[in-house]
Amino acid sequence: MGILANARLVTADGLTPGWLRIEGERIAATGTGPAPEGGEPVRDLAGAVLAPGLVDVHVHGGAGAAFTETAPERALSVVEFNRAHGVTSLLGGLVAATPEDTLRQVAALAELCESGDLAGIYLEGPYIARGKCGAHDPALLREPDTVEFERILKAGRGHVRMITLAPELPGALDLVHAVTESGVVAAVGHTEASYDETRAAFDAGATVATHLYNQMRPLHHRDPGPIAAALNDERVTVELINDGVHVHPGAARVAFDAAGADRVALVTDAMAATGLGDGEYTLGTLRVRVLGGEARLVDSGAIASSTIVLPEAVRRAVRDLGATPADALRAATATPAAALGLAAGVLAPGAWADLVIMNDDLTVESVLYRGQAVAAQN
């Protein structure tokens, strides 16, 4: 591929004028200022933003397909849809299901992890609070079970990366210990936990708050609950669905200002309807109606996932939350990657050459995956 020159690279210091060299599938070198001369091919980016490929650690589907489907071509269509939008690393997100279906879905996604198409598997539930189940079928929820979790781990063949649970449930802290000891990230979410119960989960090893604010005990000045516990704890990365629907920009800005780009992970929680028009779809076993891009359960009217792709959340962080472009991009690259231990999200020698080139308003202009151009969509 050669050198990408005259770019603004996303670094810890902001957007830094510089260049990047690609050799094969990886980044070979980066530097500031003008690109070195050497006779190799040079692509002049004319001052465009050069960022790592975006990282979405909480996504359930897109382009009409969902990760709960076990046909590999269906899951691949979600991956390819996201890749075209600059999201080059993502976890395959599952929702609450029967024990048998969960094992079948995890085993199917493990194959895509082994091929390198997915960065891992994420389970949202089934060990979550019925009163905060959101778009999960309450009939499929159950108490934390370390034996079942071991079966899930075995089915995942080392590719389960994160699981969300409610820390107030019986056996939850035992499961947090089992999860973290296995090398999987424990996340707190869909919960009615108190501040102290949430802190106990973090002390036990949980390190992520699942889509902060949504489907968790609300913040109150005398009963701060999981929101304050997560924002106050430097060990915790907080997910934020920044689509303008799940969280009001005012509340989203509070989270971003409190935790900063190093602890906020922008996520989409996107469902199969993402990239399609209004209509009726399914999320797990539940019917969802999308109207004006807003997804809600047909039966209860509860918000059901989102229909955005990650670059939109990045642009909203700049426009609505006052984040700098570099901070907004870090919250969609290095921060979620670090929280999940993924080899992604940074512009550094030896890293995969997964890159996204954006214009001034952070619209995706082109995408590279493993050093090769991908037909981009914006």
CB 378 within 8 Å of CB 363: yes
C-alpha span between 118 and 108 (Å, rounded): 11
Of 132, 202, 135, residue with least CA distance to 167: 202
Per the residue annotation, which of 269, 299, 354, 361 is the catalytic one? 269
C-alpha span between 237 and 315 (Å, rounded): 20
Known binding residue 211? Answer is: yes
Known binding residue 220? Answer is: no
Looking up tokens 């500031």 gives 32
269 annotated active-site: yes
C-alpha span between 273 and 295 (Å, rounded): 8
Known binding residue 190? Answer is: yes
Burial 140-171 (b: 16+ CB within 10 A, else e): bbeebbeebbeebbebbeebbbbbbbbbbbee
Q: Phi and psi (nearest 5°) for 194?
A: -80, 175
C-alpha span between 299 and 286 (Å, rounded): 9
> Which parts are annotated binding residues for Zn(2+)?
124, 190, 211
Tell me which residues are annotated as active site. 269
> Which parts are annotated binding residues?
124, 190, 211
